[in-house]
Amino acid sequence: MRIAIVNDLIMAVEALRRVIAAVPGYEIAWVALNGREAVEKCAKDRPDLILMDLIMPVMDGVQATSSIMKNSPCAIVVVTATVTGNAAKVFEAMGCGALDAVRTPVLDAEGKIEGAAELLKKIAIVGKLISADVPSLKLEAGQKKTAATAALPMIAIGSSTGGPKALAQILSRIPRSLGAGIVIIQHVDSSFAGDLAAWLGEQTGLCVTLAQDGMLLEPDRVFVAGTNDHLVIGPDSTLHYTQEPRNYPYRPSVDTFFHSVKQHWPRSDVAVLLTGMGRDGAKGLLGLRQAGWHTIVQDEKTSIIYGMPKAAAELGAAVEILPLETIADSIVRHLNN
């Protein structure tokens, strides 16, 4: 994998160089000291992955990510001194197309690198997303859909690359009194899932919280998947986390959640698949459409990455293919009817 480094701090560049050089098959494509230089270099030599700093002179990481994804799109992971301290900028960068974020490895006084394992884990996941075939999910045998009972409506939303900004736009247009429980599966590391929930809460009048094991859905409340395990609906219609499937690169998985909803949720409501790289969510959305759900996918023009929505559209999983700005209206209209 050819990896580019964008960082204005020499010590940070050196730490990143050492981490990458230690892994066979990884090589440095180029180094840029600010966002503008990164945009120019990416246009001439597109790497497999860019490790993008956030705070830089001339052009910051958010602006550079936006420009690269528009003109020379490739996988980008934000690498910053503090993920939680820069939460707003992290989600802004992810809204522009960054896949994930991780703390910058640090060289200590003895020349050892702290944080290398976490970075390498992120790089390995990106490698799977951009190159590996993803195995199809197998449903657990013996599980049956619960009998229909009186239950509140559910809005199930899956998203990945570009998802935070898309989610914020949708949630900002959902009225407080709609009466539905909203569950969001966004590909995001657990280390800043809490910051994502808090940030989304600032964009909407709805209550946004991290999903906890055993929680019941509540009307006009948003539940965000909050661990590196998969969020599911159990036979008791409550939220649970599971490690299976263990080898699935998308964590938390939209497909896993959608499949569990089909099996265990007693109603057929609204499911949405937004911008993102790969195919996660497509098969699960198809299952929900076949079960009578109203299914929506984001259109190509408004998607940062038209991967997941495209896969769903090709499978015939979408009742509607809509631009981002009309998705909330469609959700409200369907539930009100």
Burial category of 54 from C-beta neighbours within 10 Å (exposed 0-12, middle 13-18, buried 19 and up): buried
Compute the radius of gyration of the chain from its Cα atoms.
Answer: 20
Annotated active-site residue in 67, 159, 160, 260: 160
| 230 annotated active-site | no
Annotated active-site residue in 187, 230, 264, 294: 187
Structure tokens at 45: 């030599």
How far is CA 27 from each of CA 116, 251, 270, rounded to the nearest angstrom? 16, 26, 44
| 294 annotated active-site | no
| 187 annotated active-site | yes
Task: Report the alpha-carbon distance of residue 108 to residue 317 in Å, rounded.
Answer: 51
Structure tokens at 302: 């408004």
Annotated active-site residue in 195, 229, 280, 299: 280
Q: What are the two backbone dihedrals, phi and then psi, of residue 169, each rounded to the nearest 5 degrees?
A: -65, -40
Task: Report the alpha-carbon distance of residue 46 to residue 40 in Å, rounded.
Answer: 10
Task: Report the alpha-carbon distance of residue 6 to residue 50 in Å, rounded.
Answer: 7
Q: What are the two backbone dihedrals, phi and then psi, of residue 114, each rounded to the nearest 5 degrees?
A: -95, 135
Task: Report the alpha-carbon distance of residue 40 to residue 29 in Å, rounded.
Answer: 14
Residues identified as active-site: 160, 187, 280
